Every structure is written in structure tokens, then in C-alpha cells.
Amino acid sequence: MERTRIGIVGAGPAGLMLSHLLARAGIDSVVLERRSRDWIEARIRAGLLEHGSVDLLDRTGLGARMEKLALRHRGIEISTGGRRRHIDFMEATGGKGVTVYAQHEVVKDLVAARLEAGGDLRFEVEGVRLEGVDGPEPRLVWPGGAIACDFIAGCDGYHGVSRASIPPEALTLFHREFPYAWLGLLAEAPPFQDELVYARHEAGFALFSMRSPELTRAYVQCRADEDPDKWTAGELWDELDRRLAVQLNRGPLLLKSVTPMRAFVAEPMRHGRLFLAGDSAHIVPPTGAKGMNLAFADVVALSRALVRYYREGDEAGLDAYSDTCLARVWKVQRFSMWMTRLLHRDPAHDEFERRLGAAELEYLLGSDAARRALAENYTGLPLDLTDV
Ligand code: RFL
Ligand code: PHB
């Protein structure tokens, strides 16, 4: 049977970054990915990087394309009552702004770096199963092969097999459902301005974002069971303009889809020799733009713990992994839930709740302290990269 030290399931941001960090420390791994390379490099997902994620990419030799292609903003705008107000994160945090760099570009950079370094990434591997994670020699097994590992990292997202291989009685799952979702578009239209605009509107949330100087990305709050085909492109652009109180540049749609809203945490993030990282362990609602950033924070902690284990024979980092990650996960979950509730219209709310929500937003827009708290969380809680 083949052998590796760390078997990684999933080549998303979590799995790829983990194998990159381990390789830099001389620890070999094999990444098994269900989809093709083309598929993972084209999948449109996240757009925003926290300050710590930008540093991580820079420090580990992945910053070259990002430095060229990323868009950097001072802050964001919030639209309410037909007026847009600017929040300057640079000023509020003493120099941390907003970086727009698409997740699929990060994935391309990671795949290229791993392949150039001779990394073992295997695409289109269907039917992976995890065996023996309770024992000393866990294995990844699939119809075409098997690999014995020291440890397995489950980086296969919310719908993956890793979390599902843990006995249900060994996990506690925390869920929140939302009575709404996002209808999103990606369009060949130059962003109408540099900064993102978030709207709280009586018809519901809206967000103007972008992927590049040629591509606009935008979302409106819709019903959880919304059929995207019921919306013509014209209706969607009109609704965005109305809620955001702007006039977006319009262009051909490349994508129109519904993004479900979910909040989810699995505890603990370790079972025997299996470690969960990224979306396989937790999902935050997308409003705070945190999911990929949280996946990076997990694998920084996991690679640090593994390096300590291999260099010093010390398992303390591995034993602390779940608690270390969950401390950050719950803070980020709190922020993402807060931002979601602040900006969305909850159909179950009465006028009392709505007035409270409007007052909270007015307080935020008028208070230096509240704006600083938003800026600190949005640009990213501190990420320790000293030994990376
Ligand atoms: P991923 O990216 O889901 O990758 C998991 C990989 O595992 C593979 N896989 C398997 N491979 C082998 N065997 C199996 N059985 C497998 N099952 C699955 C999958 O094919 C896939 O390649 O998880 P990862 O690495 O944890 O990364 C998480 C991020 O993708 C996610 O949190 C973000 O996209 C969330 N998110 C955002 N995060 C940010 O940090 N900033 C943002 O601006 C941001 N915006 C967003 C978002 C997510 C969104 N959607 C679509 C949910 C905006 C949206 C609309
Ligand atoms: C995005 O560009 O997809 C995006 C930006 C900001 C968010 C969420 C998503 O808060």
C-alpha cells in the first residue's frame, strides 16, 4: 500500500494551503480531490481576503499574482434610507483595508505552487473512504487505490465524506437556518465604483461587489426556495439599483444562482487521527465574507501542530487543535451572524424588531467605537503567523 504522512481530502483553499504549508516544513502529503483541476480553478466563490490571509499568501511565496491583480479598498459603503455612507477601515484600524482577490485565483496560485514543487495532487478521485481513523494507521481508500497515513485532514467542504466518517455520537453539531438566501449575479460589467456597497432596505439585503476591473458581482436577498429563473436579468439589475440606491453598470450575465445561507459548527474538530478544517467543520453565513479566511486560520493552526509533532515529538499542539480553532470560529460566527441580522429583512420580525434594527445601524454609522468594532472584525481578527 502507498504511504504518506498526511492524507488530505479535498483541494479547496483549506486542503491546498495545508499541503503547501506542510511542504514548506518538509512534511509530505497527498491531496485527493473529487473534481477536475479545471473545475476547482473555475468555481466562483469567495472574493474577499482578510489582512491575515493576504500576509499568509505573501509570506509563503504566493503573493505575486495577487499583488498584480488584487483590488485594494480603504473601506466599504453602507446604503440605508436611500443614502450611502462610507466606513473607512484604514482609518479605523490604523492601516488595514479590504482586499478583493477571487477564491479561484487563490486556488490557481496554490495548485501551480504545489505542482511546481512536485506536490502530489490527484484530481478526479471518486469514492474516497476514510478507514481506521480511531487507530494508529488511518487509510484513505478508493476504487483505484489506497494510502496509509499518519494523519488525515478532512478538507472536503460541507458536503464531504470526512465529517460523515465520524460516529455521530462523537460530534456535537450546531445549526442555524435562515428564512432567506442570496440571489447572485456575476456580470461582464465594470464595477460602477471601487468600494463594495452593503444595503439594508425594506425589500431586503443587497450587496454590490466585484471580481476584477471587468467583472461585477452582486447579490439580493431572496426567499430560501427562490427559483433564479423567475428573475430576468433586467429585473435583477433594477432590484439591485433600487435596494443599493445606485446605478450599476450593466452587462451580460455569466452566472445567476441562489446561494443558501447557513450557519453550522461541528465540535470537536478532531476525531482520533482525523482533523477537520474549513467548511467541513463550520459554515458561516456569507455576509461577513469569512469562510475562506477561516479555512486558512484552521490550516495554519493544523500545520503548526503537525510541525511540532514531527520536529519535537510533542502532541500538545494536536491535542489543542480543536479548541484553538473553535475559539476563532465562534468569534467569526458571532460577527457573521451579527452582520447578517443587521442587514437582512427577517419576515418573522414585527415593526418593533425592525425599528431596533434600523436604530442599531444608525448607531453603527454614527459611532467611532462601533465602526472600529466592525472594521476590526471585517478586516480580520489577528492571525499568528510568526513561525509560518
Ligand atoms: P471547499 O472550497 O468547499 O473545498 C472542498 C473541496 O473538497 C472537494 N471534495 C472532495 N474531494 C474528495 N472526495 C470527496 N468525497 C470530496 N467531497 C468534496 C470539493 O470538490 C472541493 O474542491 O472548502 P474549503 O477548502 O474549506 O474552503 C471554504 C471556502 O470555499 C468557503 O468558506 C468560501 O467560499 C465562503 N465564502 C467566502 N469566504 C471568504 O473568506 N470571503 C468571501 O468573500 C466569501 N464569499 C463565500 C462567499 C461562499 C459563497 N458561497 C457560494 C457559499 C460568497 C459565496 C456566494
Ligand atoms: C463576494 O464578492 O462574493 C462577497 C463580498 C463580500 C461579502 C460576501 C461576498 O460580504
Global confidence as pTM: 0.98
Closest CA to 378 of 342, 345, 326: 342
Domains, the chain, ordered by start:
2-47+102-171+268-345 (3.50.50.60), 176-261 (3.30.9.10)
Rounded to an integer, the average pLDDT of 137-164 is 98
Question: With a 6 A CB cut-off, is 52 part of the ligand 2 pocket?
Answer: no
Distance CA(49)–CA(40), nearest Å, equals 18
pLDDT tens digits for range 233-251:
999 999 999 999 999 999 9
Is the pLDDT at 31 greater than 90? The verdict is yes
pLDDT tens digits for range 37-69:
999 999 999 889 999 999 999 999 999 999 999
The alpha carbon of 40 and the centre of ligand 1 are apart by a number of angstroms equal to 10
The alpha carbon of 278 and the centre of ligand 1 are apart by a number of angstroms equal to 8
Interior angle at CA 327, CA 263 and CA 198, nearest 5: 45
Q: What percent of the chain has pLDDT over 90?
A: 99
Mean pLDDT across the chain: 97
Rounded to an integer, the average pLDDT of 84-93 is 97
Residue 182: the pLDDT is: 98
Residue 384: the pLDDT is: 96
Closest ligand by atom to 186 CA: 2
Check if 68 is active-site.
no
Residues 18/303, Cβ–Cβ less than 8 Å:
yes
Distance CA(22)–CA(151), nearest Å, equals 13
Check if 158 is active-site.
no
Check if 20 is active-site.
no
Residue 199: the pLDDT is: 98
The alpha carbon of 211 and the centre of ligand 2 are apart by a number of angstroms equal to 10
Is the pLDDT at 309 greater than 90? The verdict is yes
How does DSSP classify residue 179?
S
The alpha carbon of 12 and the centre of ligand 1 are apart by a number of angstroms equal to 6
Residue 46: the pLDDT is: 87
Distance CA(336)–CA(330), nearest Å, equals 10
DSSP string, 205-266: -EEEEEEETTEEEEEEEE-TT--GGGS-HHHHHHHHHHHHTS------EEEEEEEPPEEEEE
Closest ligand by atom to 76 CA: 2
Question: With a 6 A CB cut-off, is 295 part of the ligand 1 pocket?
Answer: yes
- What is the amino acid identity at position 340? T
Rounded to an integer, the average pLDDT of 322-339 is 98
| 332 band by pLDDT with thresholds 50, 70 and 90 | very high
pLDDT tens digits for range 355-367:
999 999 999 999 9
Closest ligand by atom to 259 CA: 1
Check if 108 is active-site.
no
| 227 band by pLDDT with thresholds 50, 70 and 90 | very high
Beta-strand relationship, 2-9 and 145-154? parallel
Residue 190: the pLDDT is: 98
pLDDT tens digits for range 184-194:
999 999 999 99
Residue 114: the pLDDT is: 98
